[in-house]
Amino acid sequence: MARVPFIAGNWKLNKAPSEAAALAKALKHKLADRGDVTVAVFPTALSIQATLQSIAGSGVGVGIQDISVSPRGAYTGTNSGVMARALGCTYVLVGHSERRLYYGEDEAKVSARIRAGLDAGLLPIVCVGETLAQRRAGQADAVVHDQLAGALVGLNHDEVVKLTLAYEPVWAIGTGETATPAQAQAVHASIRSWLTNAYPAYIPNQMRIQYGGSVKPSNAAELLACPDIDGALVGGASLNAEDFAAIVAAAIA
């Protein structure tokens, strides 16, 4: 089944509100003609409102980079999915390797955030991916399968089908080093076959699996041409409107 491509921009800890507003305004203009490609951006929480205001009416979704497992309460320093949804967010990023590495997000925490996101009415993008050492040890597929099993535990079929997955090999994030299309396609196919073993066929057929890790205008087309790569999660290149628009253009059939 043909899946509609989904390109997401993860702005990480960049773009203060005024800069985010300017980038969003440029994107609204440059992405006006994008066919049916789904597009979303993930500003830092402090810039979500400015981004929403500038991008309103464009159909580009806005998401939050992380949420607390609780909708409210005594959790100083965090943001909640319910509040992000109330603000106008559609998506939440979960399990990004930087969250796993710097904030100790293990499978249980990833799974709890998916639960909190879905309960708040947000659509999670769930990131998985192996380190260089794990790849060299021949464990890439096994690591990704374990992360999936841990992340998706307890979700019913209606919930699983709402997720987008992002395969982001840790060694390719922010390093300039991209997985070759063949390397990425192999893991994407293995994720889809893991889904096929675990769920009824409509789920692996419908679920979009993005590739992430140094995606840029020069490599987007060949990655997106792979049969199991349904989009991209873009970090560095999403901070520049022209580059991000070029990646979206590469996804237009």
Site residues for ligand PGA per CB under 6 A? 10, 168, 173-174, 212-215, 233-237
Which member of 98, 145, 168, 188 is catalytic? 168
Alpha-carbon span 8 to 13, nearest angstrom: 15
Alpha-carbon span 108 to 114, nearest angstrom: 10
Structure tokens at 45: 């929480």
Q: Can 242 be counted among the known catalytic residues?
A: no
Which member of 29, 96, 159, 177 is catalytic? 96
Q: What minimum distance in Å lies between the beta carbon of 100 and ligand PGA?
A: 11
Phi, psi (5° rounding) for residue 40? -145, 150
CB neighbour burial string for 168-178, b if at least 16 within 10 angstroms, e if fewer: bbbbbbeeeeb
Q: What minimum distance in Å lies between the beta carbon of 66 and ligand PGA?
A: 13
For ligand PGA, the closer CB: 233 or 251? 233
For ligand PGA, the closer CB: 68 or 178? 178
For ligand PGA, the closer CB: 159 or 222? 222
User: Of all residues in this chain, which one has the CB nearest to ligand PGA in the complex?
Assistant: 235
For ligand PGA, the closer CB: 26 or 239? 239
For ligand PGA, the closer CB: 203 or 221? 221
The closest alpha carbon to 247, from 86, 24, 239, 190, belongs to 239
Q: Can 107 be counted among the known catalytic residues?
A: no
Strand partners, 113: none
Q: Fill in the DSSP letter of residue 120.
A: T
Q: What minimum distance in Å lies between the beta carbon of 74 and ligand PGA?
A: 31
183 CB-contact burial (10 Å; exposed 0-12 / middle 13-18 / buried 19+): middle
* β strands within 192-248, DSSP E: 209-212, 231-234
Q: What minimum distance in Å lies between the beta carbon of 65 and ligand PGA?
A: 10
* Bridging pattern class, strands 61-64 and 123-128: unpaired
CA 250 to chain centre: 17
Give the number of residues written for the chain: 253
Q: What minimum distance in Å lies between the beta carbon of 40 and ligand PGA?
A: 12
Which sequence positions are flagged as catalytic?
96, 168
